Amino acid sequence: MKLVLFGVLTGALLGIAFPPMPFYLLAFVAFIPIFYALEQPNKKYFMMLYFTFFTYHGMANWWISSFQKDTDPYLMMAGFAIWLTHAFFLMMPIIAYSFVMKKFNSKIALNFFPFIWVAFEWIHSQSELSYPWLTIGNTQILNNTWIQFIDITGIWGASFFICYVNVLLYQIAIHIKNNHSGIINKSLIKDRVIIKNSLIISLIIICPLIYGHFRKKEFVFEDLLKTHQTIKIAVIQPSINPWAKWAEGPLNQIFLHQHLQDSLTKSQGKTDVSLWSETAIGFLGLDFNSGHNFSFLQKWVDDNNHCLISGYCEFYFYKKGEIPPITAKEDKFDSNIKYDTYNSALMLNKGNNLQNKKEQIYYKMRLTPFAERLPHAEMFSFAKKWFEWGVGISSWGLGKVQRNLYFHKEEKAIPIGNIICIESIYPEFVRNFAFMGAEVLTVITNDAWYDYTPGPEQHFQIACIRAIENRRCIARSANSGVSGFISPTGESIKRAEQYKRTAVMQSLPLLKEKSFYTLYGDWLARFSVFVTLCLMVFGFLNSKKLYQINKI
């Protein structure tokens, strides 16, 4: 039971370090209790590890069950199911660390721990079952100057350094215990192990701070507005009850968005782009959602001389000769008619050529596990109906092609990377938009399922990390917030008041320079996977422990 408490302490420290709480420095000591517990002779490690990450997930992510009076029972149960099962995924790097410790020794295991942790974080983000929200690098979102170096490493660099500082501090603590009888005295000042580890810790803290200080000077937002072409974006925040929106009439919701945009235009002048939230345009009819007859919206766009980017529900019916996937839906009255529904983003430019509009619709590619789609549904099609909830459209189709949308201004086509909801938590996925040329990023989401919890704020802060990694401005439209604008240094430029029907406007610079991370993606994570695989294979090939446990 004592070891379980050590595990719970690690989980609690990680949970408290997670935003929006401002205790991010706790992440740099959070793993020390579990390192100590794993050194103790005990066979109940599994229980300890489970409670460690059950605590972490619970403290940082308790809100995903959506504790509101209108919450759909399926969503609430799904939230609890994720809480119960996600701990098993988070345990995996510690289990691998324990394996290395048994096959080699504690010193080797500790030195490779940062690689092991980052490798498993990255692997965990790859499948349809992935949920990398709790990547521990995300704890440093509010540590703004220090974290600027992730434009080189991606968020994985922050996770790596957090793990490494934990290792170095633990080594200092154990060294003092073993060699100085736990007594703090003057002899510690001359101890080589302590001096070496302290120096490395200092470099890990100070070097990123220096880098961040100078890098932020290169991306002063006011200076960028003066030196770059700009785009004026209006973010619309309708604050519609997500549980009732599907029954209240999609036309009324469109009129609400238009009214908010028109009022903003009257008070603040013309805008280039009007950005509406996820699924802002619901199901109006097959002529609109499948036949793409957007004429009444196109007229509004033309009359206002701007561009519209909106969340949109696409219905795609498979034609004769096409082979629908096994996950396709069937028409209620004719089983021969197969179709898919897509959580999409629609862009309408002034004078849009409707014949080319297909390229201006983007299908969401990263779907929320279980809530939007049964992960790997092709393999478990028999269970698809078990995971459909009673609000709006469920079991969305999976988009296959990642593409930028193009806004036409002054006879130029400006690429915009539009990210839908949970896609913003995937580093390399967002990076791909910038790599393909996006000069500004937009995020559309509906976080109103989690109003008055930390969820919407966490989601906004994670978007700040994507801005730093790719050195792009971000405009973000969320149904009830957090809506606003983010600078290339991950700082909030302007935010709409949360839970209020409103609209805000901001000019953003169009940036073309590609960061090291944008150019090379998850290089650190992939290298960590390579190192970890080599270590694990070497361990498996040796049936006996290679070395005696050394003192650290």
pLDDT one digit per residue (tens) for the chain, 552 residues: 778 899 999 999 999 999 999 999 999 999 999 999 999 887 678 899 999 999 999 999 999 888 877 777 777 887 888 888 899 999 999 999 999 999 999 999 999 999 999 999 999 999 888 899 999 999 999 999 999 999 999 999 999 999 999 999 999 999 888 876 656 666 677 788 889 999 999 999 999 999 999 999 999 999 999 999 999 999 999 999 988 877 778 899 999 999 999 999 999 999 999 999 999 999 999 999 999 999 999 999 999 999 999 999 999 999 888 888 887 888 777 778 899 999 999 999 988 654 445 458 999 999 888 777 767 666 655 555 655 555 556 678 899 999 999 998 877 899 999 999 999 999 999 999 999 999 999 999 999 999 999 999 999 999 999 999 999 999 999 999 899 999 999 999 999 999 999 999 999 999 999 999 999 999 999 999 999 999 999 988 876 555 444 444
Domain annotation covers residue 448: yes
160 and 258 co-located in one domain: no
Q: Are residues 6 and 83 in the same domain?
A: yes
Q: Based on the domain organization, do 104 and 50 belong to the same domain?
A: yes
259: in domain:
yes
The CA angle 25-30-31, to the nearest 5 degrees, is 140
CATH number of the domain at 252, please.
3.60.110.10
How far apart, in whole angstroms, are the C-alpha atoms of residue 222 and residue 242?
A: 36
Domain shared by 412 and 266, yes or no: yes
At 2 the pLDDT is 79
Look at residue 197 and tell me if it is in a domain.
Answer: yes
Same domain for 266 and 408, yes or no, is yes
Phi-psi sector, 254: left (phi>0), alpha (psi -120 to 50), beta: alpha
Q: Given this model, what pLDDT does residue 355 score?
A: 43
Q: Within this chain, do residues 423 and 464 fall inside the same structural domain, yes or no?
A: yes
Domain span holding position 257: 221-312+347-363+403-511
Same domain? For 479 and 531 the reply is no
Of the candidates 462, 482, 470, the one whose C-alpha atom is nearest the C-alpha of residue 513 is 470
Structure tokens at 551: 């003192």
Residues 107 and 226 in one domain: no
180 and 237 share a domain?
no
Q: Into how many domains does the chain fold?
A: 2
Instruction: Kindly state whether residues 274 and 255 are assigned to the same domain.
Output: yes
Write the CB contacts of 308 (distance below 8 Å, at least 6 apart in sequence): 273, 274, 276, 297, 300, 301, 346, 347, 348
Are 441 and 465 contained in the same domain?
yes
| Closest CA relative to residue 317, chosen from 333, 339, 332, 334 | 339
Q: Report yes or no on 30 lying in a domain.
A: yes
Q: 116 and 235 share a domain?
A: no
477 vs 238: CA distance, rounded Å? 9
DSSP run (H or E) holding 237: strand 230-237
